[in-house]
Structure 1
Amino acid sequence: MRLHRRALLAGLSALPLASAARADAPTEGRLVEHPAMASAHVQPRDVTVWLPPGYDASDSAYPVLYMHDGQNLFDAGRAPYGAEWGVDEHVARLAANGQIRTPIVVGVGNTPLRLREYIPANLIRALPEDMRADVQAIYGGESLSDGYLRFLVEELKPLIDGAYRTRPGRDDTAIMGSSMGGLISMYALMRHPEVFGGAGCVSTHWPIRIDQLTDPADLDAWRERLTAAWTGVVRADLPPPGRHRLYFDRGDETLDAFYAEFQSRIDAAIRSSGWTPDRFRSLVFPGAEHNETSWNARLDVPLTFLLPPLPR
């Protein structure tokens, strides 16, 4: 998307100001910015709210999709790698075609502490002591994921539900991200199953690390122990099957090439816990890489799974 004219909000308690939709593409909705949003639990960060086409002309209430790495979602000019997910275009088109329930999308910007905020604390606790020490050394300290999720659940969600016309219940609240954002999305479903009804985990970064292990035997041993920890966490902490939706996918090029064995074994653990295809999906996209361009190309798939239209 090219740059929008944006409304600026002063802080956590401010109500949204009017912001203009793009004159050349009015059907794509509009963005409202909450810059440098303060928190008692994490560093300040920018939050971008996308309001769907028709929001201002109606009194309807909307489900909400929370997405991580918010600077990569709507505007390639703001994305560090110059590519975006095109979330607004995808959602507007799918909604217009009746393929999804039309959501408000909340893009939560990351910070320099992204890795520590996105690595699930329950995995860190499940790792053997030597692996835990290695991971914390690589990531620069202990996991900050519980604080990040408290920001989302205790601070951001009440603001969004108060300032916008939302459907605040669990079945109308989903969360999604890629890479490490896939991990924290899964953890959000584990940690707050009463809040989030669905999680989309795109190109989920199961290996945690892929460098500093040059010996094949060391790499195999690390993968085996880490996969055991992941499958244990999944069996112990996912909510019971039947009420939530859980989506995984991966490509098979660049960083995604490291994910196959992790994903297949984690998928088996989830299915053995009773998750069925109507609530759990794990897909492979041959030729897809680990980048925003690839995630943009397949975004319709998780969106239609997480936000299916209501039965007529």
Structure 2
Amino acid sequence: MARETARTAIGELHKHPAFASRILRRKRDVIVYLPPGYDLQPQRRFPALYLQDGQNLFEGATSFVQGKYWRVAETTNELIAAGQIRPLIIVGIDHAGPKRAEEYTPIPSKKLGGGKAERYGGFLLKELKPFLESEYRTLPGAHNTGLGGSSLGGLVSLYLGLRYPEVFGKLAALSPSVWWGGRWIHEFARKEKFPVRPRVWLDIGTQEGARVVQDVRAFRDVLMAKGWIPGLELHHEEVPGGTHDEEAWARRVGPFLRYLFPATKATV
């Protein structure tokens, strides 16, 4: 499969254009960030983090609001250089444009449609993840594998992470739309059995609306009732003045990377 490599000031990015999915019957671009020194350590394997809405992660030209993006590569490079996080591979998965809400939601909404998150999960687990593991030196195991996103991307990351905790052991949910479907994911988490609990970063900005803040707070309470230990397994944060946009989420990249992939003497 075609691969385009760009070595820039922010590190090495590999683009897999028009990655085709038989499960979803559509194509999308996938961008892979490799940590500094990846090529110089051919025997070393790295943790992997899969992020939704890939258009908004690495460059302003492709983001939802032009010029406003998450600065994932820049922030990751800085944290690795400072010895604060483990060097890791980050995969940006482009959303499906007009079909974004369809793929990112676990059940349909009468007004908004959707409900194809399980099929999207099939694409991740059966097509994209195996391909990337054959192309790049990723570490095996849920404790080395993360999933994340914002808004509906945060919702689908929570759903798939809780649905497949044996695959994804680290979840980053920034301003997640846990209100979707009458708080459907709250009830899903209440009923689900968790033989293992992924480590969860859960945040919301105080300027995103009082009701949304309460929705996320209530979901935190659901996880705690299921056994998640605050601090150790669950970080919940209400960001003062935080808004629902790429610039706000860019400021949270460093904190959630430090929480989910903290450096140890053995991994730096």
Q: TM (normalized to structure 2)?
A: 0.91
Please provide the CA RMSD for this pair: 1.8
> Aligned-pair distance for 1:257?
4.3
- The answer for unaligned runs of 5 or more in structure 2 is none
> Aligned equivalents of 2:104 and 2:12: distance in 1?
28
> Aligned equivalents of 1:66 and 1:261: distance in 2?
27
Residue correspondence of structure 1 range 173-184 to structure 2 within 5 A:
173-184=145-156
One-letter code aligned to 1:50: Y
- Aligned counterpart, 2:81: 96
Q: TM (normalized to structure 1)?
A: 0.79
Alignment equivalent of 2:259, drawn from 291, 294, 305? 305
- Aligned counterpart, 2:226: 273
Q: State whether residues 178 and 186 of structure 2, in contact with CA within 8 Å, keep that contact through their aligned partners in structure 1.
A: no
- Aligned counterpart, 1:66: 50
> Aligned equivalents of 2:204 and 2:214: distance in 1?
11
Misfit runs of 4+, over 6 Å = none
> Aligned equivalents of 1:301 and 1:257: distance in 2?
23
**1:93 aligned counterpart, secondary structure:** helix
Structure in which a larger fraction of residues adopt strand: 2
Alignment equivalent of 1:158, drawn from 127, 130, 138? 130
One-letter code aligned to 1:104: I
Which one has the largest radius of gyration?
1
Alignment equivalent of 1:236, drawn from 187, 191, 205? 191
Q: State whether residues 207 and 262 of structure 1, in contact with CA within 8 Å, keep that contact through their aligned partners in structure 2.
A: yes
- Aligned counterpart, 1:221: none
Q: State whether residues 30 and 51 of structure 1, in contact with CA within 8 Å, keep that contact through their aligned partners in structure 2.
A: yes
Q: State whether residues 29 and 53 of structure 1, in contact with CA within 8 Å, keep that contact through their aligned partners in structure 2.
A: yes
Instruction: Find out whether 1:139 has 2:107 as its counterpart.
Output: no
- The answer for unaligned runs of 5 or more in structure 1 is 1-8, 11-15, 125-131, 210-225
- Offset from partner CA, 1:82-101 (integer Å, 9 cap, x none): 21100001111111112111
> Aligned-pair distance for 1:206?
2.3
> Aligned equivalents of 2:86 and 2:104: distance in 1?
27
> Aligned equivalents of 2:71 and 2:36: distance in 1?
15
Alignment equivalent of 2:27, drawn from 44, 65, 78? 44
One-letter code aligned to 1:283: E
One-letter code aligned to 2:82: N
**2:61 aligned counterpart, secondary structure:** coil
- Aligned counterpart, 1:212: none
One-letter code aligned to 1:239: F
- Offset from partner CA, 1:66-91 (integer Å, 9 cap, x none): 00000100000111212110000111
